[in-house]
């Protein structure tokens, strides 16, 4: 049964099978992998039938084409729902304000614990962004901060200053304290194209999308594209899921920073998170577990008691999250087709075929061929799903919580409690 999981993940053997056996032993309940495989097969068959195909005699290329057609139809329909005319659906200048306004209207959690803008300004004064200042025509950082929108300035640093500068700048966070953070709502904004389009050109070309975010500032920005490149296929369902994904990501790290604020190494934790996003928030049966998995697992436990281990700083609302597909289905019920497919894929001779909304929408927008199809988000979701399945057993849940409290980061084989 583990073969399908291994093929979808391109996992290394025998390490993958050994890891599953360790998780089974630690949880005291074998067969989770078989149940997950059964669900993946059932969901892939159902989705294939909904696309009007027979899974038994449909090639991977035919299925990929059907997913692309489905995405094209969904994109047109959702664009119309948020106020676009058919002729406008690829126009970046027209669509992005409609997309941001649609997100602003959604009833979704957006409160986060993030760096105060006043403290962020102090950090910039300590290490002025000279390239950005030159680009915008300022000789002093004080003048830059006085006359420009700060969130635009701050998020543009990744375009203007280069990776070496950013790594040095992130080291300044060693000095931050919990008192430098505050609670406020996530801000979604569109950058001024006249000022930033040229600066962000390489970013847009490299990422092949025009959305980015700052997890420490709690800001999501729409990056402007050059006027000559002002059209983008599948723009609505490329951008909406990305913005919703980044809302979840900012809330994810907000909860993590709140959890770690009692640690004497808080500044170091912030630096390491910003630079490397280390996976070792905890371990489960000898396997590293990212905070993303822990947050999502406990965020799904609606109606159950909130773990006392998170108190007094992390509250149930900090852990609440919804997949992008679920939030899009609130906007357009027909988008429910994609719900529950985030970790679903179909093995193919070369690479898996993903049913994940993000993979399909990005591939459609970028007009990727079947041979160059995307599956990154499916693989990430499947790894997360595997860990969440085993974490549902109380023995492992308690171990996870105990490690979070003790800040364990070194490899160590865990034994189930007796």
pLDDT, greater one: 68 or 387: 68
Contacts of 17-20 with C-beta under 8 Å, sequence gap 24+, read 19/285, 19/286, 19/287, 20/386
Average pLDDT over residues 221-245: 84
Per-residue pLDDT reduced to its tens digit, 193-212: 888 888 888 877 777 778 88
Question: Per DSSP, what are the bridge partners of residue 188?
Answer: 220
Instruction: Grade residue 388 by pLDDT with cuts at 50, 70 and 90.
Output: confident
List the domain boundaries for the chain: 91-275
pTM of model > 0.75: yes
Residue 329 burial (10 A CB sphere; 0-12, 13-18, 19+): middle
pLDDT in tens, 316-335: 554 556 788 989 999 999 99
pLDDT exceeds 50 at position 120: yes
CB contact burial 68-104 (16+ within 10 A = b; e otherwise): bebbeebbbebbeebebeeeebbbbebbbebbbebbe
User: For residue 52, what pLDDT is reported?
Assistant: 96
pLDDT digits (tens, 9 = 90+) for 23-41: 777 777 778 889 999 999 9
């Amino acid at each position: 049964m583990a073969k399908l999981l291994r093929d979808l993940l391109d996992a290394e053997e025998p390490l993958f099978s050994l890891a599953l056996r360790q998780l089974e032993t630690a949880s005291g309940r074998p067969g989770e992998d078989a149940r997950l495989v059964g669900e993946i097969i059932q969901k892939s068959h159902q989705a294939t039938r909904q696309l009007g195909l027979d899974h038994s005699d449909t090639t991977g290329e035919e299925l990929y084409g059907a997913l692309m057609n489905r995405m094209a139809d969904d994109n047109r329909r959702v664009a119309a729902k948020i106020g676009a005319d058919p002729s406008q659906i690829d126009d970046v200048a027209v669509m992005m304000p409609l997309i941001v306004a649609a997100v602003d209207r959604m009833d979704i959690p957006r409160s986060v614990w993030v760096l105060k803008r006043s403290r962020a300004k102090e950090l910039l004064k300590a290490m002025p962004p000279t390239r950005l200042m030159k680009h915008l025509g300022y000789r002093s950082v004080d003048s830059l901060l006085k006359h420009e929108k700060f969130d635009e300035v701050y998020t543009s640093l990744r375009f203007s200053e280069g990776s070496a500068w950013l790594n040095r700048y992130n080291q300044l966070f060693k000095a931050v304290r919990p008192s430098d953070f505050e609670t406020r709502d996530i801000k979604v904004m569109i950058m001024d194209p006249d000022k930033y389009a040229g600066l962000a050109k390489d970013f847009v070309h490299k990422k092949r999308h025009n959305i980015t975010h700052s997890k420490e500032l709690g800001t999501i920005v729409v990056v402007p594209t050059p006027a000559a490149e002002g059209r983008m296929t599948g723009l609505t369902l490329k951008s909406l899921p990305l913005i919703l994904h980044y809302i979840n990501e900012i809330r994810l790290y907000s909860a993590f920073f709140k959890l770690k604020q009692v640690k004497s190494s808080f500044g170091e934790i912030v630096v390491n998170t910003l630079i490397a996003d280390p996976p070792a928030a905890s371990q489960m049966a000898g396997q590293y577990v990212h905070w993303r998995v822990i947050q999502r697992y406990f965020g799904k436990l609606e109606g159950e008691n909130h773990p006392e281990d998170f108190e007094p700083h992390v509250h149930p609302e900090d852990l609440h999250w919804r997949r992008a597909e679920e939030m899009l289905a609130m906007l357009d019920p027909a988008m429910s087709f994609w719900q529950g497919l985030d970790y679903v894929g179909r093995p193919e001779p070369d690479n898996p075929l993903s049913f994940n909304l993000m993979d399909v929408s990005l591939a459609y927008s970028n007009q990727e061929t079947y041979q160059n199809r995307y599956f990154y988000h499916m693989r990430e979701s499947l790894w997360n799903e595997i860990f969440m399945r085993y974490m549902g057993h109380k023995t492992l849940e308690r171990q996870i919580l105990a490690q979070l409290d003790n800040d364990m980061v070194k490899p160590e084989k865990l034994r189930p409690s007796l």
